[in-house]
Structure 1
Amino acid sequence: MEIKNILSTNDKKDLFDVYSERSEDVNTFLHSSPSFLIKKGIYIIIGLVLCLVAMSWWIRYPEIIVAKARLSSANSEKVIIARKSGKVNRLYFSHLDQVGQGDVLAHIESVASPTAVNLIKAQLDTITKLLASGDYRDVLQYFDKYNNIEFIGGLGELQASFQTFMQVFLEFKDFIGKGYYQQKRKMLTQDLVILKHLSRNLAVQENLIEKDIALNNKTFESKLSLLKDKVLSPEEVRAEESKFINKQLSLPQIKSSLLLNEARINDKTKEIYELDIALTTQKSLFIQAVQSMRSEVEKWEYLYLLKAPINGRLAYASFFEEQQEFVAGQKIFYVEPQNGPKFIEMILAQYNFGKVKVGQKVLFKVDAYPYQQYGKIEGEITYVSNVATDSGYLAKVSLTNGLKTSFGYSVQYKSGLSLTGEIIAENSRLLEKIARLFPSRQ
């Protein structure tokens, strides 16, 4: 206000003329119209900022947790090791052949012949079925050539166990097969029938004697009445009393015969019971002998025969051939299952573990297949352990599309194939992530 008061209009005009004459740029600036950016620049900047804020609200950016993993299966590959040191006498399958559960893959050198052992096992299996159905007499037809020298010589490690089994089997065969049990039981049963028939006859005699005594008692009482009436003499009454006493003496005799016969019946019943007990004991001993022999055969097979534990494809653990030496515990074969659900085992570290939850999506990069060329495998977390191991927390991931990658390539199953998992832990907005960079002071 003071400057305005000091400077008059003419003075201002003179001052403007001075500056105009001294600066051509100022003169140009004062007489030109400002550009569009200068007029609307502030509005454009505000609009861009608002667009960026809106985009950060709509755009979602997933949070990735990386973890190591490996491919596995419910029927993982089985390792077959040598349980006995020695040479491999024979290989029954070649590398990459299909094998079935229980197939014999190889035979480790032994004294016993596999043929002889298989013969014993087949007969023991049949005997076991017959014993289970109660057909004991049909068992007797087996092992009829047990004393064959060639057969005995092929048993090797099982010879002592087989001799013990045959001793029990022959006792059982003599007890059942030669009719000792049947004949003796038949005779005892017949004796028991006779004794019971005799008991019935003695009981009838006892009843008749008791009736006779009752009649004689009435007769004697009538004689005593006649004696009182002096119809009969004392001598006649005494003679009648003597007859009555003789009748009474026969009753204890018949009762003693009945008791003696009952004792004989009990003795015969006891003999039959003891005979049945002996048969039961023989059966029990034979069943135990069969089970013991089966156990010895299975033990021999466990040590000397290498069998496939599951159906699948056979793979040699190394390059070898027949008559090659192996030591106990050495890996010889692998059997890879062809079917069975596949899944991925993942190890989670402590960092960001709390963000991992069941149901979250996981993308896997297969180390053996570059993901830039083959793509990624998709899965979903189905289980997270609450107990930590030395490596971390174990998680199980099911495969959404099997082993097919995002590029449509099918990865060949290899047990233990290593992968790198990317867990999509949280698919939050970009604005939320930016806001987290500025922690609250509360």
Structure 2
Amino acid sequence: MSIPKREYVELRSDEVQEILGTPPAWLVSWGTLLIFLGVAALIAVAAVVQYADVVPARVTIVRPSPPLTVVAPRDGYIAAFLARDTQFVQENEVLAVLQGSAEYNDVRQLDALLRYWQRCFPDSMDRIQPPPNLQLGDMQIEYTALTQAVENYRFGQKNKASTARQGANAAAQQIAKLEQSIIIDQRSLRRLDSQLATARERYQRQSTLYEAGAISRIELERERQQVDELERQRDALEESILRKQNEITSLRRIRQDASLAEAETGLNAIGQLRQALSNMQAALNRWKSANLVVAPVAGRVTLNGNIFLRRQYVRAGQPLLIILPAQDDSAVARLQLPIVNSGKVRPGQKVIIKLDSYPYAEFGVIYGTVRSKSLVPTDEFYDVAVELPHGLTTSYNKAIPLEHRLNGTAEIVTEQKSLLHRIYEQVFTAFR
């Protein structure tokens, strides 16, 4: 069997090269257009797409008011520890009581009574009734003085009312008698005036007759004596009326002076009672300062694992518990901004906060705004205050509990630049 001969074609002929080396016109046109559109699209994307220019920093978010440590006021044994861990307490609420010579329940009763008595004073002082047999220890002296002042006030009020009533009644009766006597005397005075006028007229007639020689001198003198007697009676009666009027004035003055003296006595008793109440309140305040552990502010109690039992001994200044002050959702964010790139930070710039304790991939980030930056760095760092307009609500709408301190990282967005702008800056910098 014979093998057929292969025929070889010359591929490098001029005709073949002309066909293979000349692309079609439509392919060149569309290819150029596609390349141009691709480059234009890349430039447009580079001009549109922007990403932030950020300055990193460490951030600390704290409460506006720091936690307060409550300590023992003096050396002593605990009589009662009333606070519980995580308990919410009000300002001035009693947290613990140190053992002393006074009975705490009696002190509480006295404290409530003092507040009530001070509201009653001075309009309703009769309601002040100190209970007997209170065990008040060092405050017993002031309490005894208060009890005595109350008794003195009541005794004075009782006697003052009785004495004033008796004196007023006696003076009123005497004044009434004198006024009635004056009325009678004034009637007698009017009668005497009438008799005196008649006697004077008769004496004038007798004088005319005597001058005419119709009567004797003896008869004229008798008429004159009668006129003089009536004038003496009238003068005596006027003097009696004036004396009685002066006596009435004196009685009224004496009654007024007695009332003023009684009022002064009452004021002295009120002043003594007021002073006794003040001394009792001062003694109670001293006892509270020495024996009570109270909450300085409203907040939540944290014992930090400490357990205090009754009869446990504590020393003055020994920390007993911590109170986290009650706050709203406000918080204070502070940045430690390194000097590097710090000149780009300005107030009003956006801040993105990522907390260490709450992964941002799960909880989101917290947004803030630069409020201020310190003028001078401290230890190579600027202090930057950040305002949190949404509090601790994250970008995932999750509320972060306001703990005492939250640490994390912050990114200060100093400028939004497009990719094209950044390429231009790099090229410009390279050829500058």
For Structure 1 versus Structure 2, the TM-score category normalised by the shorter chain is: 0.7 to 0.9
Is the aligned partner of 1:275 residue 2:262? yes
- Aligned partners of 2:63 and 2:402 also within 8 Å: no
Identity %: 16
Match of 1:371 in 2: 360
Match of 1:200 in 2: 179
> Which of 94, 97, 108 is 1:118 aligned to?
108
Matches within 5 A, 1:40-439: 50-66=40-56, 68-73=58-63, 77-97=67-87, 99=89, 102-131=92-121, 134-139=123-128, 141-143=129-131, 145=132, 148=133, 151=134, 154-176=135-157, 179-198=158-177, 200-201=179-180, 203-205=182-184, 207-208=186-187, 210-230=189-209, 233-309=220-296, 313-322=300-309, 323-336=311-324, 340-348=327-335, 351-352=342-343, 355-357=346-348, 362-372=351-361, 374-381=362-369, 384=371, 392-399=383-390, 402-403=392-393, 405-407=394-396, 410-424=399-413, 426-427=415-416
Distance (Å, rounded) in 2 between the aligned partners of 1:98 and 1:214: 95
Distance (Å, rounded) in 1 between the aligned partners of 2:200 and 2:209: 14
Distance (Å, rounded) in 2 between the aligned partners of 1:341 and 1:54: 48
Distance (Å, rounded) in 1 between the aligned partners of 2:353 and 2:178: 93
Distance (Å, rounded) in 1 between the aligned partners of 2:112 and 2:46: 77
Deviations 1:287-345 (A, max 9, x none): 232233123213322331223456654321452432444333332112346x7421221
- Aligned partners of 2:50 and 2:418 also within 8 Å: yes
Q: What amino acid sits opposite 1:170 in the alignment?
A: E
**Count of matched residue pairs:** 398
- Aligned partners of 2:69 and 2:319 also within 8 Å: yes
Cα 1:115–1:214 shift into 2, 3 Å:
same
For normalisation by structure 2, the TM-score amounts to 0.75
- Aligned partners of 1:57 and 1:431 also within 8 Å: yes
Q: Which runs of 5+ in 2 are unaligned?
A: 1-12, 211-218
| Local SS of the residue matching 2:95 | strand
Deviations 1:388-422 (A, max 9, x none): 7977354442435x54x445655343122334344
Q: What amino acid sits opposite 2:207 in the alignment?
A: K
Question: Aligned-pair distance for 1:209?
Answer: 5.1
Question: Aligned-pair distance for 1:278?
Answer: 2.0
Match of 2:21 in 1: 32
Q: Which runs of 5+ in 1 are unaligned?
A: 1-23
- Aligned partners of 2:372 and 2:386 also within 8 Å: yes
Match of 2:7 in 1: none
Deviations 1:177-211 (A, max 9, x none): xx212212222332343344245335534643553
Q: Which moved more, 1:304-313 or 1:233-242?
A: 304-313
For normalisation by structure 1, the TM-score amounts to 0.73
| Local SS of the residue matching 2:403 | coil
